[in-house]
Structure 1
Amino acid sequence: MHFPVRGGSIIKRKVGVVQAVDGVDLDLREGESFGLVGESGCGKSTTGRLIARLLEPTEGTITYAGRDITHASRKQLAPIRPEIQMIFQDPYSSLNPRHTVGGIIAGPMEVNNINPPGGRHKKVQELLETVGLNPEHYNRYPHEFSGGQRQRIGVARALALEPKLIVADEPVSALDVSIQAQVVNLLQRLQRDMGIAFVFIAHDLAVVRHFSQRIAVMYLGKIVEIADRADLYNNPHHPYTHALLSSVPEADPDSEKHRERIRLTGDVPSPINPPSGCRFRTRCWKAQDICATEEPPLVQLESTTTGHLAACHFPESRQVIPDAEALAD
């Protein structure tokens, strides 16, 4: 997904492109919780919006349940839209302040002409109860709720059409830590009970590990590593993943003293003019000449377990978190 950059004081002309997502290749299995992590501006949210087809990709292919929906028209997407829903990052701007909670949650059913047994009013009250809110709050407005409650309303709206896939774009980043745990546990319960597949986008590594079965790490528009959560957290192979995990705080001060801490130097390059070869090479302590001339492919390494892919010419091969299971608790 490349966004045009326009310049000129009178006639706006294209002077470049922002390579927000560039060559991302991933698959999502039915009923799976898939995590997508990386620092701000790496293309996570854009990837999520592409999956939900809220954006039309510049190049490439998006396939859902065997159907190519890359450039599908609004009419062609109509039967697929109910199956793919999204939970947005900001619970304050994603809810229309002029509509009641009942109207917000019932909206998707009205758009898709769905009349559930017992009526939409009853269905909305059931959804409110499912996400831990009072069904009697049907006629209240968003400003009457806290941030955590608003995010629960967003979850209820996403569940209204009984989707098979939900893209959760940093659903807890705007919430207090105590509320984050409640929302994450709610999503985990829904994923387990309803068999919904999740793409969970976040930059909090501990939250992603708690929720996701497989995790992909993004850097500057590209995926640099994909693995099962245990493999990724116990034995990361890409230097960027290793640096990210080294920054996760530990509750035990003694373990902090013995743990390696990697501090990356420099800033993230501009997506308008990314580095040649490996995009992480300008901040990587293992970079060599080949890293500037050849882009490393995302492949399975000989020393990794099945499904553990990394894009690096000189991969890491050491453990970073000895008590990784404690992080999930």
Structure 2
Amino acid sequence: MSTPLLDVRDLVMHFPVKSRGIISHTVGHVKAVDGVSFTLEAGQALGLVGESGSGKTTTGRLVTRLQRPTSGQILFEGKDIAQASPRQLKPLRRDIQMIFQDPYTSLNPRQTVGEIVGAPLAIHKLVPKDKRLARVQELLEIVGLNPEHYNRYPHEFSGGQRQRIGIARALTLQPKVLVADEPVSALDVSIQAQVINLMQQLQREFNIAFLFIAHDLAIVRHFCPEIAVMYLGKIVEKAPREELYAAPKHPYTKALLSAVPDVEQARIGGRRERIRLTGDVPSPINPPSGCHFRTRCWKAQDVCATTEPVLQKVGAGADEAACHFPEP
């Protein structure tokens, strides 16, 4: 078997909670990511979905090593980068890049587009100084922007254009993995499809692997052949998109999908049953024992409180779910 491009094993990120006062001490931990594992092949797209606070954005920041994990392994081309030093990480920055959620705050307003997109080239010294402008203009053209606008500032562009600038910056070093953290959630619906189509085109053209983080299940379905669903720091279900959308096995996934508008259902009349989850998401500082979802689950029984379910294959397909009583 070939080694996957990215192999994440039992990734954990616990943020310490400090007490107030002159002498503070740790009184607990926020379990933002609590044992996440997945693989990503070259050119593949994996969707990571879940509601706010599920840990998906933190997972993306750990994979790009913007944050150092508490424990676990991040194997990139077989080499563990989880605890690598900044000096060891510098050459790896070329291979793993991130597209940020908000195009309005992720670009420096005091720099021109040419300076923003060209900065990675200067830092990594990949292109001679006299050829940087040509490379920047080439990248702007690739993402659908006018290459002559390199000397403009971010405020002179629309939200969709700014996100294209962010994508151009991420492409500068020709990465092998792009972590897209809700890349279209801050954009108008009319612009979202254009940006998604651009990323799909770039994925095919440059064979880039995508970890696509989102809360919009319709967009993830369009972009990602495989989807992992997160709840309170853990992956509760992982499956090919056809299986996941046709017959979700975890109750949480079923509840999420019940809230997605179904065009086919609207065409034939009637409504899909809407599952309303009771209560709020429990605190990641003190998650429920056993199955983290049990406090909101309509199928919960005594075993759910005492034994944590493991992610394992359910049914005849490739669907994996962490549930004692998966959906039929």
Question: Normalising by structure 2, what TM-score?
Answer: 0.94
Residue 271 in structure 1 maps to residue 284 in structure 2: yes
The CA distance in 2 between the partners of 1:153 and 1:225, in whole Å, is 34
Cα deviation, 1:246-298, whole Å, max 9, x if unaligned, reads 10012353556242211111100000000000000000000000000000000
The CA distance in 2 between the partners of 1:105 and 1:173, in whole Å, is 22
- Map 1:71-220 → 2, pairs under 5 A: 71-115=83-127, 119-220=131-232
Range 116-125 or range 133-142, more displaced: 116-125
Shift of 1:89: 0.5
Cα deviation, 1:84-142, whole Å, max 9, x if unaligned, reads 00000110110001110000000011111111698111111011011110001000000
Residue 311 in structure 1 maps to residue 317 in structure 2: no
- CA contact 1:33–1:197 (8 Å) conserved in 2: yes
- Map 1:247-258 → 2, pairs under 5 A: 247-251=259-263, 253=266, 255=268, 257-258=270-271
Q: Which amino acid aligns with 1:172?
A: V
Range 258-267 or range 58-67, more displaced: 258-267
Tell me the C-alpha RMSD between the 2 structures. Answer: 1.3
The CA distance in 2 between the partners of 1:184 and 1:255, in whole Å, is 29
The CA distance in 1 between the partners of 2:217 and 2:41, in whole Å, is 21
Between the aligned residues of both structures, percent identity stands at 67
Counterpart of 1:240? 252
Q: 1:27 aligns to what SS in structure 2?
A: strand
Counterpart of 2:3? none
Q: Which runs of 5+ in 2 are unaligned?
A: 1-12
Q: Which amino acid aligns with 2:323?
A: C
The CA distance in 2 between the partners of 1:256 and 1:39, in whole Å, is 29
Number of equivalent positions: 315
The CA distance in 1 between the partners of 2:88 and 2:269, in whole Å, is 54
- CA contact 2:18–2:26 (8 Å) conserved in 1: yes
Cα deviation, 1:155-202, whole Å, max 9, x if unaligned, reads 000000000000000000100000111111110111111110000000
Residue 222 in structure 1 maps to residue 234 in structure 2: yes
Shift of 1:238: 0.3
Shift of 1:76: 1.2
- CA contact 1:101–1:138 (8 Å) conserved in 2: yes
The CA distance in 2 between the partners of 1:258 and 1:249, in whole Å, is 10
CA 1:309–1:115 in 2, change beyond 3 Å: closer, same or farther?
A: same
Q: 2:164 aligns to what SS in structure 1?
A: helix
The CA distance in 2 between the partners of 1:119 and 1:10, in whole Å, is 54
Higher percent of residues as strand: 2
Q: Which runs of 5+ in 1 are unaligned?
A: 318-329
Q: Which amino acid aligns with 2:172?
A: A
Shift of 1:304: 3.3
- CA contact 2:122–2:129 (8 Å) conserved in 1: no
- Map 1:11-30 → 2, pairs under 5 A: 11-30=23-42
Residue 261 in structure 1 maps to residue 274 in structure 2: yes
Q: Which amino acid aligns with 2:177?
A: L
The CA distance in 2 between the partners of 1:67 and 1:190, in whole Å, is 26
Residue 33 in structure 1 maps to residue 45 in structure 2: yes
The CA distance in 1 between the partners of 2:46 and 2:104, in whole Å, is 25
Q: Which amino acid aligns with 1:167?
A: V
